[in-house]
A and B are shown apart, each in its own frame.
Chain A
Amino acid sequence: TQLLEQSPQFLSIQEGENLTVYCNSSSVFSSLQWYRQEPGEGPVLLVTVVTGGEVKKLKRLTFQFGDARKDSSLHITAAQPGDTGLYLCAYKTDSWGKLQFGAGTQVVVTP
Chain B
Amino acid sequence: DTEVTQTPKHLVMGMTNKKSLKCEQHMGHRAMYWYKQKAKKPPELMFVYSYEKLSINESVPSRFSPECPNSSLLNLHLHALQPEDSALYLCASSPTQGRQTYTQYFGPGTRLTVL
Contacts and interface: CB of A to CB of B under 8 A. Distances in A.
Contacts of A43: 43, 90, 106
A96 B104 CA distance: 11
B42 A101 contact: yes
B106 A96 contact: no
**Consensus secondary structure, chain A interface:** loop
Contact of B101 (A48, A95, A102): A95
B41 A41 contact: no
Contact of B48 (A41, A97, A102, A103): A97
A8 to B, nearest CB: 13
Contacts of B31: 96-97
B64 to A, nearest CB: 17
The 3 closest A-B pairs by CB, nearest first: A42-B106, A97-B101, A101-B42
9 contacts: A42-B109, A43-B106, A95-B101, A96-B56, A97-B101, A99-B43, A101-B44, A102-B42, A104-B40
